[in-house]
Amino acid sequence: MTGPDKGALARHLADLIHVQGPLPVSAYMAEVLSHPEFGYYMTREPFGREGDFITAPEVSQMFGELIGVWCADVWRRMGAPASLRLIELGPGRGTLMVDILSALGAIPGALNAAEIHFVETSPRLRDQQHDTLNRAGIGNAKWHERLAEVPDGPAIVVANEFFDALPVRQYVHTAVGWCERLVGLNAAGNGFQFIVADRPTHGANVLAPAVISAPMESIAEICPAGQALISDIADRINENDGAALIIDYGTATSAPGDSLQAVQNHRAIPVLVAPGSADLTAHVDFSALVRAAEAAGVAAHGPVTQGSFLESLGIELRATALRQNATPEQSDDLDTAVARLTAPDQMGDLFKVLALVRRDQLPPAGFSAP
């Protein structure tokens, strides 16, 4: 059996540009990541040392266990409903959910209440998630294409490194205003290049004040898909009760800048080279997510840094407990994992954590009262 045609996606994109003209960055990103036949998540192995990047659940079980503790605390604050939709957006290989459920198993009633729902569009990743859960003896998960397909009811939504893969639109501050950045064919017609629309577009009207006054030639990003998803999550929380926990890398405040990047084999490569062979992501604008949440009628707590969040939940205590039965090598690995997850110069500060709850709820664990 032959592997995927590595040039098929590039040809598909070139055909689109020939027919439609240059593509908004968001359209290019969506095609590269999610094309049903050629997209990155449909054809590549993204995760782990053999993939293109490592996520926090792959670093250590402690990450998922502490998220599970957080979910259990939220469930109790909700009155410990007998049925809880435990929803994960973009569940990777399923590792995070297995560790969450391990922690829930230590809380009387929590595991029995949990109904597992995965929102995943990639068939090959669904297969991996199914295998991971089967190996852990978990057989009651359900998969959905969209959040809206998950049945109503009290819910906790977890999204770890999900929002960074949602398509962003980019704008460039030019002499005539904020014009959209597009992807077109290069002069030779054998590759792609960024170009700028020749007139302002209405989409730039939603830029934050701190961004819209940026110097000429600045680049600004917005993520309409992310803001729409926040609104959908908020509606679910308000109508059914629950909470959401969003963990991703990004900025606490809106600011100009080009954060679009391609990662292949744990290294950055040019964004427009070999589409479909590398992961495409952009930094999450947490301030924009907060504004979207508040506009939708829920309380947003944070963002706080991942380091401070995990420390407040007791990652050092959990590491100490695991060291009790660890070999010296395993103990060293625990130290390395704690540093990787919490140190400011590693994932600790770059990654942020945001919680959404009903307005009448107190701040959840890991978030200080305002």
Looking at the domain assignment, is residue 22 inside a domain? Answer: no
CB 196 within 8 A of CB 219: no
CATH assignment at residue 133:
3.40.50.150
CA geometry: angle 341, 43, 22, nearest 5 deg: 95
User: By three-state DSSP, how is residue 172 classified?
Assistant: strand
Domain that holds residue 75: 43-166+226-267+278-357
Number of domains, the chain: 1
Give residue 37's pLDDT: 83
Give residue 49's pLDDT: 57
Looking at the domain assignment, is residue 66 inside a domain? Answer: yes
Looking at the domain assignment, is residue 176 inside a domain? Answer: no
Name the one residue in this structure whose structure tokens are 């991942």: 306
Strands (E), 187-241: 192-200, 219-222
Give residue 3's pLDDT: 46
pTM: 0.93
Task: Give the residue among 163, 175, 197 at the shortest CA–CA distance from 89.
Answer: 163
**Amino acid type, 340:** R
Looking at the domain assignment, is residue 241 inside a domain? Answer: yes
Cα 43 from Cα 45, distance rounded (Å): 7
Strands (E), 33-191: 84-89, 114-119, 142-144, 155-160, 169-174, 177-185
Inter-axis angle of helices 8-20 and 25-34, nearest 10: 150
User: By three-state DSSP, how is residue 221 classified?
Assistant: strand
Tell me the pLDDT of the chain (370 aa) as tens digits: 344 566 889 999 999 999 999 999 999 999 999 888 887 887 766 655 555 557 899 999 999 999 999 999 999 999 999 999 999 999 999 999 999 999 999 999 999 999 999 999 988 899 999 999 999 999 889 999 999 999 999 999 999 999 999 999 999 999 999 999 999 999 887 899 999 999 998 777 788 888 988 999 999 999 999 999 999 999 999 999 999 999 999 999 999 999 999 988 778 889 999 898 888 999 999 999 999 999 999 999 999 999 999 999 999 999 999 999 899 999 999 999 999 999 999 999 999 999 999 999 999 999 975 4
Looking at the domain assignment, is residue 119 inside a domain? Answer: yes
Looking at the domain assignment, is residue 137 inside a domain? Answer: yes
Give residue 65's pLDDT: 97
Looking at the domain assignment, is residue 181 inside a domain? Answer: no
Looking at the domain assignment, is residue 95 inside a domain? Answer: yes
Give residue 139's pLDDT: 82
